[in-house]
Amino acid sequence: MNKKLAKGLTAIAMGIYAASSHAMLVTYNGFSNTSGLTLIGSAGTTVTSDGTVMRLTPASAGQTGAAYSTSPITLGSNDTFSTTFQFRFTQPGGIDPADGITFLLAANTTGIGGAGVGMGYQGVTNSVAIEFDTYNNAGYGIGNNDGSSSNHVSIDTNGSLTNTALSNVYGLQTCDFTNGYLQTGCMSNGDLWKATIGYNGTNLTVVLNDPTAGSSFTAINNYPINIASYLGTNLAYVGFTAGTGAGYENHDIVNWQFANTTELAPNSVPEPASLAIVGLGLAAIGRIRRQKA
């Protein structure tokens, strides 16, 4: 292999690797500037000990709020994405800490669902959401996933609270005023939690981390789902919803990153095509070195 070809392959390899590793579409290290976001309902910004945060709902009854990306992302068949964000739920009151948030992908930015159990998501059609639910929603869901947990993560589709792939966070099913909502592993405990979501075009994974737990918790592991089929379009607006009812809490998003690759996902690696080309480029470098030797 001649030196010019080797250099060309190396440049292509490194260029593709760099592109795959820096496909960040959303980066908010705080929310002092909300340009690029569409805010609906009670959603707004406020200053806390975490800096300027996105407060989807305040700690008061009967609130709904949503924040969407103003520009859509392309999400067709087999398209990937990953996202990570930190959240903190504080000042619970009313009947119990409630109700939680969703991270969602939706076909438009105008949707905001019902308050309370709806978490600002129920009724938003052409969408897929991952809910972080802090209230016992018994009676909502499919089969055994009927929402009978005040500390769970699950998947919802087309504005319905299907509670698919429901998982009790850190194995704790009940986190309310009676049963120690402040304990480690309860999402309403006031800690600064981190959520990481990865989608490889076929399977969805969700990992949570409560900093006082000392380890992460995989809530959803490689769950097969065709997200584009629910959207009905290859464009998706991404963001968050939240709701309160007779129970409430502050629902704050502290920071947020979103990429159209899996680079933010747990144990992420470059896409297979990128790895192959990088390998080809590195092989070329090796040949040049051997020729010089």
Cα torsion 47, 53, 55, 56 to 10°: value is 170
Q: Which two tokens stand for residue 190?
A: 């006031």
pLDDT at 9: 38
pLDDT at 265: 81
| 25-262 CATH pick, 2.40.160.40, 2.60.120.200, 2.40.160.60, 1.10.3720.10 | 2.60.120.200
Over residues 197-223, the pLDDT tens digits come to: 999 999 999 999 999 999 999 999 999
Model pTM score: 0.83
pLDDT at 267: 61
pLDDT at 77: 73
Residue 167: phi, psi to the nearest 5? -140, 130
| Per-domain boundaries in the chain | 1-22+272-293, 25-262
pLDDT at 141: 61
What stretches in the chain show pLDDT beneath 70? Answer: 1-22, 111, 141-147, 267-293
DSSP letters for the chain: --HHHHHHHHHHHHHHHHHHH--EEEEESSSS--TTEEEEET-EEEEETTEEEEEEE-SSSS-EEEEEESS-EE--TT--EEEEEEEEEEEEEETSS--EEEEEEES-S-----SGGGTTTTT--SEEEEEEE-S--TT-SBTTBS---SSEEEEEETTEEEEEEEEEGGG----STTTTTTSTT-TTS---EEEEEEE-SSEEEEEEE-TTTSSEEEEEEEEE--HHHHHTSSEEEEEEEEE-SSEEEEEEEEEEEEESSSTTSTT----HHHHHHHHHHHHHHHHHHHHH-
pLDDT at 2: 52
pLDDT at 274: 37
pLDDT at 147: 67
pLDDT at 123: 92
Angle between helices 272-292 and 3-21 (to 10 degrees): 150
Q: How far is residue 279's CA from residue 272's CA, in Å, rounded to a whole number?
A: 10
Beta bridge partners of 87: 193, 253
